[in-house]
Amino acid sequence: MQTLGGVTLTGHPVALPVPHDGPDARNKQDIGDILHQIMTITDQSLDEAQAKMKPALFSVLCEIKEKTGLSIRGSQDEDPPDPQLMRLDNMLLAEGVSGPEKGGGAAAVAAATAAVGVGADNSIEHSDYRAKLSQIRQIYHTELEKYEQACNEFTTHVMNLLREQSRTRPISPKEIERMVNIIHRKFSSIQMQLKQSTCEAVMILRSRFLDARRKRRNFSKQATEILNEYFYSHLSNPYPSEEAKEELAKKCAITVSQVSNWFGNKRIRYKKNIGKFQEEANLYAAKTAVTAAQAVAAAVQNSQTNSPATPSSGFQMKDEDFQLDAAEDKNNLLNNMFTGSSGSYSLPGSGDMFMSMSGLNGSYQPTQVPNTGQTQGDSIRHAIGQSLGYSDGLRGNPLYSPHGLNGNGGWHDAVTPSSVTSPIEGANSVHSDTSN
């Protein structure tokens, strides 16, 4: 066991050699010996001593540092998931900026599209949106990668530095780890900024995209025609079913919600000013009638060759549920279709045709038909009523309203005779029908 000044390296005191020869010479020699001894001890074992002391000192200092360090920033070590960061992440994922590469953002485009409702001619805008989105995505990923790389580089650098410094000052691995965490936190806050600005960019892009959609475009003439045809041929109940809407949407190359919008607007505007729409109604009534007549003729031909003549053997025409009950009625229908004694024509595009035809020349009375010949009017009505199975209760219904509008609410309520402004329409036709 080496000693140093009477103290062992482990700190236990030892007895120094006591000189007992001569008082002076002995003392001198003793001191010299001791000094020599000390010198020898120091020279020989300083390194060894250091090697033994240092870890002890190191751990003590680290412990002390640890304690103070923990008290200072112990609370920061917990890393609760930042709600804002989570929101940003979710949004980026939803927008297709982060997440899988292919198809990313398609959902967002679809959502944006559905929210506004767009026609088929917007694929260019779609691709534009997608291109811009992928641009944002690319920038985002490049930046993210850059940040991550920088973060890693810096972390390694700091770690190396700390390891290096740990030779000369008390730095525990735990502290290095903590330092790494701090660096990561700093970088993640930068990342958050990146995510935030990316989100902003996406929002801006999206709002521009949506604004572009807001710029309404009139439907094509063809689409309006199809919609009007449907509307006027279902005037008593212009509420297309979901299937009908889908069909119309398909035909018109618009969305179902646009069809709904259109019908909503149309119902309101028609109801507000029937007179204004009368001409249009007549036009479409006639138009539909022609197609209907053609279809009926075709059906007659068909029925004559096949002659099923069963009441339930209906046939489908376009979107409407036309049903012919008997071959006899089909013939009646054909015979009477274009033979109104008043000179007006009554064509069975559908049951609602009567409503729009009512204002054609003022002579047509949809249900009562007082001034047309009883035979003619009745036969027409009979033929059509018998031939066409309408769900709106046209057939033989004395309460049938020419505009499908009565005083009971819904489509049948809002129009009072006074609101019928058309001079040719004849307010009493409405009135008489509804009051009957």
Partner DNA sequence: TAAGATGATTCTGG
Partner DNA sequence: CCAGAATCATCTTA
Residue 135 or 265 with smaller CB distance to DNA: 265
How far apart, in whole angstroms, are the C-alpha atoms of residue 102 and residue 327? 59
CA distance readout (Å), 269 to 1, 244, 266: 111, 21, 5
Q: Interface mask (CB under 7 A) for DNA, residues 62-91, using x and -?
A: ------------------------------
Figure out which of the listed residues 129, 140, 262, 364 binds DNA, where binding follows CB under 7 A.
Answer: 262
Tell me the H-state helices in 255-326: 256-272, 274-306
When asked if residue 421 is in the footprint of DNA (CB under 7 A), the reply is no
Cα maximum dimension of the chain: 165
- Given 149, 152, 222, 265, the residue binding DNA (CB under 7 A): 265
Q: Is 4 in the site for DNA (CB under 7 A)?
A: no
| Cβ closest to DNA, residue 41 vs residue 253 | 253
Mark the segment that binds DNA (CB under 7 A) among 11-19, 141-149, 374-382, 407-415.
407-415
Residues 362-401 that bind DNA (CB under 7 A): none
Q: Computed over its alpha carbons, how large is the radius of gyration of the chain?
A: 47
Other residues' Cβ atoms within 10 Å of the Cβ of residue 22: 10
Q: Is 258 in the site for DNA (CB under 7 A)?
A: yes
- Give the range of 17-25, 78-86, 198-206, 210-218 binding DNA by CB under 7 A: 210-218
Window 20-59: residues binding DNA (CB under 7 A): none
Minimum distance from CB of 292 to DNA (Å)? 24
- Name the minimum Å distance from CB 362 to DNA: 22
250 binds DNA (CB under 7 A): no
Judged on CB neighbours under 10 Å (0-12, 13-18, 19+), 111 is middle
Q: Binding to DNA by residue 226, rule CB under 7 A?
A: no
Q: What's the helix, strand, coil split of the chain in %, to 5?
A: 65, 0, 35
Instruction: Report yes or no: 179 and 162 within 8 Å, Cβ to Cβ.
Output: yes
Which residue stretch of 62-70, 72-80, 109-117, 311-319 sits at the interface with DNA (rule: CB under 7 A)? 109-117
Tokens matching residue 144? 């993210």
Between 22 and 264, name the residue whose CB sits nearer to DNA.
264
Please select the residue that binds DNA; options are 1, 102, 215, 418, rule is CB under 7 A.
215
Q: Pick one of 320, 353, 411, 426: the residue that binds DNA (CB under 7 A).
A: 411
Instruction: Count CB atoms within 10 A of the CB of residue 188.
Output: 16
Give min distance, CB of 215 to DNA, in A.
4
402 and 353 in contact (C-beta within 8 Å)?
no
Among 5, 264, 311, 343, binds DNA (CB under 7 A): 264
Quote the CA–CA distance of 147 and 328 in Å, as a whole number: 83
116 contacts DNA (rule: CB under 7 A): yes
Candidate list 261, 306, 316, 335; residue touching DNA; CB under 7 A: 261
Q: Is residue 268 a contact residue for DNA (CB under 7 A)?
A: yes
Q: 218 or 310, CB closer to DNA?
A: 218
Q: Site for DNA (CB under 7 A): which residue of 137, 178, 206, 267?
A: 267
Other C-beta atoms within 10 Å of 302: how many? 14
Say whether residue 410 binds DNA (CB under 7 A). yes
Could you tell me if 235 and 403 are in contact, meaning their C-beta atoms sit under 8 angstroms apart? Answer: yes
- Residues between 294 and 353 that touch DNA (CB under 7 A): none
Minimum gap (Å) between residue 434 Cβ and DNA: 16
What is the rounded distance in angstroms from the CA atom of residue 109 to the CA atom of residue 133?
A: 10
Using rule CB under 7 A, residue 217 touches DNA: yes
269 binds DNA (CB under 7 A): yes
Decide: 234 and 350 in contact? Cβ < 8 Å.
Answer: yes
Q: Does 110 bind DNA (CB under 7 A)?
A: no
Q: Which is nearer to DNA, 348 or 404 (CB)?
A: 404
Cβ atoms 69, 176 nearer than 8 A: no
Residues 328/319, Cβ–Cβ less than 8 Å = no
Q: If binding is defined by CB under 7 A, does position 208 make contact with DNA?
A: no
Tokens of 75: 């609370």
Half-sphere exposure at residue 155, Cβ-oriented, CA atoms within 13 angstroms: 18
Helix (H, G, I), strand (E, B) or coil at 338: coil
Question: Does residue 239 contact residue 411 with C-beta atoms inside 8 Å?
Answer: yes
What DSSP character marks residue 391?
T
Nearer to DNA, 303 or 356 (CB): 356
Residue 212 C-beta: closest distance to DNA, Å:
10
214 contacts DNA (rule: CB under 7 A): yes
Q: Which residues contact 407 (CB under 8 A, 6 or more apart)?
A: 413, 416, 434
Residues near DNA (CB under 7 A) are 115-117, 213-219, 224, 239, 258, 260-262, 264-265, 267-269, 271, 276, 410-411, 414
